[in-house]
Structure 1
Amino acid sequence: MTSTITLASALPAEHRTRLMSLAREVSFPIGTRLFEEHRHADRFWIIRTGTVALDLHVPGRRAAVIETLGHNELVGWSWHFPPYTWQLGGEATSPVRAYEFDAETVRRLCDEDAAFGRAIAVWVGGVVAHRLHAARVRLLDLYAPYGSGVR
């Protein structure tokens, strides 16, 4: 299950245009670590092409992949919530082209313009809620006696 909450569907045109004016185009080869769990979250990305795996450190084992993100999806939400620390790690699982945003700049604009800030908060909050639901369904599929019961 991937996020269906894209920037285009979540933000009104004027806020989307304002956010995209801050974008910087970046590329990552396969295997690049974009961020590490528990480190400072100072940026975020919207994937143009490629895939990024979100993973969780498991002591004594390889990191467990929690979700894989692709085209038009938000990579990173920890930048939006204090203490601005990554909750997961992220790695390019194919060559990635993305728009990168400086978190401090976006947060400052959110503080300066309440409507813009609310739109960003609703977008990021919607992505978090969707991913939490997806994780819940995966856990039910793994551990519930009869699966998730998806109807």
Structure 2
Amino acid sequence: MTTGAGASASRLLLPGLDEAGRDRLEALSTPALWLPGEFVFREGEPARRCWLLRRGRVSLSTSVPGRGDVVIETLAAGDVLGWSWLRPPRVWDFGAVAADTTEAWEVDAVALRDAAEADPAFGYAVSQALSAVLLDRLQATRARLLDLYANPGGSP
């Protein structure tokens, strides 16, 4: 992965976060780039970052005994990658690999938690924005599961 300094190349967007909140989040972020096949993180490693995907795709996988790594979801531009930093033990529940050349904003989770604790209004705004994205992901997963179980012989 390559990173660069500053966050001015393209505007960081997190739905539901106001302009001041985005500016503050950008100050905690750096651009990141992964090439196809490059690991973003591995299951079980410490979770210290999250990413807001700008371009490309990242495949999330989990290790299944006897089958190896199995892709469970593919994320694309506009998605947030990496939720495991939110709760102890702060290790990745899944692995992530770039499926395409992928650009993202990398957010230092420790710095974000510190900023949220220092400024509760900012912390609340970020938590509301991230919660909305997480709930959208949960609903999309629910819809895929309903489709899968409604059509057990077909592909979702």
TM over 0.5: yes
- C-alpha distance after superposition, 1:72-94 (max 9, x if no partner): 22111111222212222111000
Aligned equivalents of 2:42, 2:86: Cα separation in 1: 16
Instruction: Indicate the residue corresponding to 2:120 in structure 1.
Output: 114
Distance (Å, rounded) in 2 between the aligned partners of 1:70 and 1:146: 26
Q: Say which structure is richer in strand.
A: 2
CA contact (8 A) 1:7 1:123 kept: no
Aligned to 2:9: none
* Partner AA of 2:112 in structure 1: V
**Count of matched residue positions in the alignment of Structure 1 and Structure 2:** 142
- Runs of 4+ off more than 4 Å: none
1:48-88 CA deviation, whole Å, 9 max, x = no partner?
Answer: 21111112221111422222111122111111222212222
User: Do 2:14 and 2:129's aligned partners in 1 also have CA atoms closer than 8 Å?
Assistant: no
- State the distance in 2 between where 1:140 and 1:39 align: 31
> What's 2:62 paired with?
56
Q: What percentage of residue pairs aligned between the two structures are identical?
A: 40
Q: Which has the higher contact order (CA 8 A, sep 6+)?
A: 1
What are the within-5 Å matches in structure 2 for residues 43-122 of structure 1? Answer: 43-122=49-128
Provide the aligned C-alpha RMSD in A.
2.0
In 1, Cα distance between the equivalents of 2:92 and 2:56?
21
The alignment's TM-score, normalised by the length of structure 2, stands at 0.81
Q: Which amino acid aligns with 1:60?
A: G
